[in-house]
């Protein structure tokens, strides 16, 4: 079912937020000390708001799960580690697949969130496009916004 229903989206997001495996991301930081957990939650909320603004019908649980798990690489990036930029989507996917059973769209959301940097893995659904855009927006806000 594809709709644009806030209850379906936030229901799925809240279930994930309570999951102990997802909460492991509270121990990792990125973007000036913001936790990876908070970053993923911001990306999830922003991607859903963008879908609402665009009037796009989406699979809400898939958007919530893909967005919340897009940085499930479970480590804090070392400064100036450029390889991280290219490598972490695959690591996040590997961890997420070990911990959850994902659908194809969720796999692609995680793999494509750094596109176009990772040229070979473009977003293949509306949900993946939303997360790819929301990730860049949230990263800029976390890096350059007022604290």
Interface with Fe ion by CB under 5 A: which range of 14-22, 57-65, 122-130, 131-139?
Answer: 131-139
Closest distance to Fe ion from the beta carbon of 3 (Å): 25
User: How many binding residues for Fe ion (CB under 5 A)?
Assistant: 2
Closest distance to Fe ion from the beta carbon of 67 (Å): 9
- Judged by beta carbon, residue 59 or residue 135, the one nearer Fe ion is 135
135 contributes a contact to Fe ion by CB under 5 A: yes
Query: 53 burial class (0-12, 13-18, 19+ CB within 10 angstroms)?
Result: exposed
Per the omega criterion (within 30 degrees of 0), is the bond before 16 cis? no
Q: Among residues 125, 134, 131, 129, which one has the least CA distance to residue 2?
A: 125
Residues in CB range of 20: below 8 A, 6 or more apart: none
Interface of this chain with Fe ion, residues 96 to 115, rule: CB under 5 A: none
Interface with Fe ion by CB under 5 A: which range of 19-27, 70-78, 97-105, 116-124?
Answer: 70-78
67 contributes a contact to Fe ion by CB under 5 A: no
Instruction: Check if the beta carbon of residue 106 is closer than 8 Å to that of residue 66.
Output: yes
Q: Which residues bind Fe ion (CB under 5 A)?
A: 71, 135
């Amino acid at each position: 079912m594809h709709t644009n229903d806030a209850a379906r989206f936030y229901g799925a997001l809240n279930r994930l937020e309570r999951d102990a495996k997802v909460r492991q991301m509270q121990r990792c930081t990125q973007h000036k000390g913001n936790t990876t957990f908070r970053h993923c939650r911001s990306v999830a909320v922003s991607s859903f708001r963008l879908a609402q603004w665009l009037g796009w019908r989406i699979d809400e649980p898939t958007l919530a799960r893909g967005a919340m798990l897009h940085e499930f690489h479970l480590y804090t990036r070392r400064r100036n580690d450029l390889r991280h930029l290219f490598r972490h989507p695959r690591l996040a996917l590997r961890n997420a697949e070990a911990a959850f059973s994902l659908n194809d769209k969720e796999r692609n959301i995680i793999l494509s969130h750094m596109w176009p940097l990772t040229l070979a893995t473009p977003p293949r659904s509306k949900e993946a496009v939303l997360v790819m855009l929301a990730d860049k927006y949230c990263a800029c806000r976390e890096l350059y916004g007022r604290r």
